[in-house]
Amino acid sequence: MKNYRILVQYDGTRYKGWQVQKQTDMTIQGKLQSVLEELAGHPVEVIGSGRTDAGVHAVGQVANFHMDGDFSNEEILEYLNHYLPMDIAVTKIDEVDERFHARYHALSKTYVYRIHTSSIPDVFQRKYMYTYTIPLDVKAMKNAAEHLSGTHDFAAFCGNKKMKKSTVRTIFSVSIEKRENEMFISYTGDGFLQNMVRIMTGTLIEVGNGTRTADSVTEILESKDRSKAGYTAPPEGLMLKQVDYAAVVSTK
């Protein structure tokens, strides 16, 4: 079987997340697999770089799959985009080394959380931002973000209470940028736990609105207690922007 790598973008509004679920067919992975299986004539597992939550968007999701058949990259790309729903698109495809794995080989991922800070709604972008109109202290948020950078046990920022695997992750950077009526919080790390970015965002917002101090982030990390961290920011403001890898050997 040939191994293909694809770059996927999607509007996550209608979907229950990336991962296939038995009780619904409204998942990104499920839609991709369904179309590919029709083309290939056999089951196809699509492996994503990570599992985005329900309602979360992506412009740079990376996935790979193994498939039989004498299809060109262009034929697969055209077939996918013809039969996928209008809110999912594959923007790039290449055939890669059979050992490439989209999740295990990812070196870093970058998520961006977008906040709309004006009391006037943005009608056309409302599905891709979180409207929050209480004034935020950007300087305090940046101070708090510094405590998140580095290698830590992020158990307090994990939405899965039954998590059995390691909750240690490395955050390479957290940047906060304010532009007129919008704020962008970018997170780059080696991996993220369930709801982790959204919980970090909720915590930073609470620092910004004065509910908690910037230094409290260190105490939250040390506690390893989810109840000590901030609320889980809603999914519509979050987007998977980019996934980075070491050089991947293409067979073409």
Q: What is the pLDDT of residues 69-87, one digit of tens each?
A: 899 999 999 999 999 999 9
C-beta separation of 57 from 128 below 8 A: yes
Q: Provide the residue ranges of all domains of the chain, joining segments of one domain with +.
A: 2-104, 108-241
Q: With CA atoms as reference, report the closest residue to 246 among 62, 43, 16.
A: 62
The yes-or-no verdict on residue 242 having pLDDT over 70 is: yes
Tokens of 150: 């580095």
Question: What long-range pairs does 70-74 form, CB within 8 A, spacing at least 24?
Answer: 71/39, 73/4, 73/252
CA distances from 54 to 12, 45, 171, 198, 245 (A): 7, 20, 23, 12, 25
The yes-or-no verdict on residue 249 having pLDDT over 80 is: no
Tokens of 10: 């999607």
Three-state secondary-structure class, residue 35: helix
The yes-or-no verdict on residue 251 having pLDDT over 60 is: no
DSSP β-ladder status, 182-189 and 168-179? antiparallel
pTM of the full structure:
0.95
The CATH number of 2-104 is: 3.30.70.580
The yes-or-no verdict on residue 26 having pLDDT over 80 is: yes
CA distances from 38 to 46, 49, 69 (A): 14, 23, 12
The CATH number of 108-241 is: 3.30.70.660
Q: Is there a catalytic annotation at residue 53? A: yes
In this prediction, residues 172-181 reach a mean pLDDT of 96
- Please report which confidence band the pLDDT of residue 252 belongs to, taking 50, 70 and 90 as the band edges: low
Give pLDDT tens digits for 35-70.
999 999 999 999 999 999 999 999 999 999 999 989
pLDDT of res. 18: 97
Tokens of 227: 């109840």
> Which residues, listed in sequence order, are joined to residue 245 by a DSSP beta bridge?
106
**Mean pLDDT estimate for the chain:** 96
- Determine which one of 25, 53, 87, 137 is catalytic: 53
Common-topology check for domains 2-104 and 108-241: yes
